[in-house]
A = this chain, B = another copy of it.
Amino acid sequence: MTEQPNTLGLKDNTVLLHRISDRLAERFSGIFTAETVERYVFESYTALARTAKISTYLPATTEHFANDRLNALAEPKGAFASEVPEVLFVCVQNAGRSQMAAALLKVEAKGRIRVRSAGSLPAAELDPAVVTAMAEKGLDLSRDYPKPLTDDVVRASDIVITMGCGDSCPIYPGKRYEDWDLTDTANQSLDTVRDVRDKIHDRVKALVASLLRNSDLRKGEAPS
């Protein structure tokens, strides 16, 4: 077809997305074809664009999200096989609970656990009260963004922890699934968010203890 004007006045990001695809194709060369990487970049962009409010950062966020997904996808291929347990937190909006849990687990695990988070219906941005409550603990979530739940990250995980969205998560054999019953932080006061944050922190500490204990135990086992 002949070239048509874009009557909505929206931004064509295809040049930027191709540049991102080239960079990631180089990083994942020998693992994924350039075509697969480009598919991931463009699908990640579309998935984020669906719910993002501010489109200025979309290309940068897309590169980050696509890179994470390709890393997750590479793991079952043994390309970036992870030596440490992998945990995925899923809540509805990936704007509060699952973001706090992921940030707190990263700190508590000190590199001994790989952590991801996602949402079944991702919000446009993180809840500002959540960013504030985490800043009080010295954790900067200002550059994090809500991500839709994708199959690649579920598959790469050993433990999937849902928070009020259990049946929107695909179930795979051989994984551990948990549901943490926590107040949704959407539209809550800072005090309520702080309370949820502290409850999550307690659960995260218990999780780290249990995972690293299991992990030490497994080291003593014969390989299966």
Measured CB to CB, the residues of A under 8 A from B are 1-4, 6-8, 10-14, 36, 39, 42-43, 45-47, 49-52, 55, 73, 85, 120-121, 148-152, 154-155, 158, 162, 166-179, 224
Contact = CB atoms under 8 A, between A and B. Distances in A.
Contact of A171 (B6, B148, B169, B173): B6
B150 A43 contact: yes
Nearest to A51: B121
Given A14-B173, A36-B36, A168-B49, A162 B8 contact: yes
> In the complex this chain forms, how many copies of it are found?
2
A173 B36 CA distance: 22
Given A1-B158, A43-B150, A152-B43, A50 B174 contact: no
Contacts of A50: 120-121, 148-149, 168
A63 B155 CA distance: 19
Given A50-B148, A51-B121, A120-B50, A45 B170 contact: yes
A172 B85 CA distance: 40
Most buried by B among A39, A42, A170: A170
